[in-house]
Amino acid sequence: MLYAVIVIGSWLMTTCGIFVFLTLSNTGKPAEYGRYSNPSPSKSMIPAKLAWMTQESPAFFIPFYFYWTDQHLTEYGKFLTCVFLFYYAYRTFAYPLLIRSKNETPFEIVLMKFLFCIFNGFIQGSWNAYYQPEIDKFHPRFFVFFGIWLFVKHTSFQIIAPRAASHHECYKKKFGAQYPNDRMALLPGLW
């Protein structure tokens, strides 16, 4: 039963990620947080530092629970969980302290991110705890590096690429001719 939940949940998360990416890429409207937040009296707003700590925390604490309480972890499962924990430790505890913006985040966005991080943390933590096989001849190191590459690519949360494009357009409008023509939105020399 847990296996089916993880597999179906993984496909659902992938489908949602593609949908979010396509939506943010094609609407030309960035997600409403940070510099793009649109506060109004009818919206409940949360300070940026608190929003980040709150919304990202489940993706750290849920896999952390699986890591420390379960004895089924393979060495490879421990490695993958540690990579995930380091990433979300930064997003939960370090990054919020580096935020200089005074902009607030709408409660609805914090809630959506919080729910996503619960889902993501559960899928990652439970898979690594119960089903992640050890590296062997059927799981060559190529897949390890490919998986890490996908993780890094994925973390740039289908949201970063469209957001980088929004920032790029914002700077071009704001600075006009002073903005360097050769500056790219995300990948130097490419895009």
Q: What is the mean pLDDT of residues 52-61?
A: 96
- Structure confidence at residue 72 (pLDDT): 81
- Structure confidence at residue 67 (pLDDT): 93
Mapped onto helix, strand or coil, the DSSP state of residue 184 is coil
129 belongs to a structural domain: yes
The end-to-end CA distance of the chain, in Å, is 43
Between 159 and 83, the higher pLDDT residue: 83
According to DSSP, the residues that pair with 45 across neighbouring strands are 106
Mapped onto helix, strand or coil, the DSSP state of residue 41 is coil
Question: What is d(CA 131, CA 125) in angstroms, rounded to the nearest whole number?
Answer: 10
- Structure confidence at residue 96 (pLDDT): 92
- Whether the Cβ atoms of residue 88 and residue 146 lie closer than 8 Å to each other: no
| CB within 8 Å of 42: residues ≥ 6 apart | none
Phi, psi of 47 (to 5 degrees): -55, 145
Mean per-residue pLDDT of the chain: 84
What is the number of domains present in the chain? 1
166 belongs to a structural domain: no
pLDDT digits (tens, 9 = 90+) for 117-158: 999 999 999 999 998 877 765 566 776 777 777 766 655 575
Question: What is d(CA 184, CA 15) in angstroms, rounded to the nearest whole number?
Answer: 28
* Residue 126 CB neighbour total at 10 angstroms: 21
Band (160; pLDDT cuts 50, 70, 90): low
79 belongs to a structural domain: yes
Percent of the chain with pLDDT over 90: 34
Tell me which residue range forms the domain holding 80.
42-156
Which of the given ranges, 10-19, 120-129, 159-168, has the highest pLDDT on average?
A: 120-129
Lookup result for tokens 């490879």 = 76
Pick from 75, 54, 58: which is nearest to 125 by CA? 58
98 belongs to a structural domain: yes
30 belongs to a structural domain: no
Phi, psi of 46 (to 5 degrees): -125, 135
55 belongs to a structural domain: yes
7 belongs to a structural domain: no
145 belongs to a structural domain: yes
Strands of 32-179 (E only): list them. Answer: 45-47, 104-106
Q: What is the mean pLDDT of residues 21-43?
A: 74
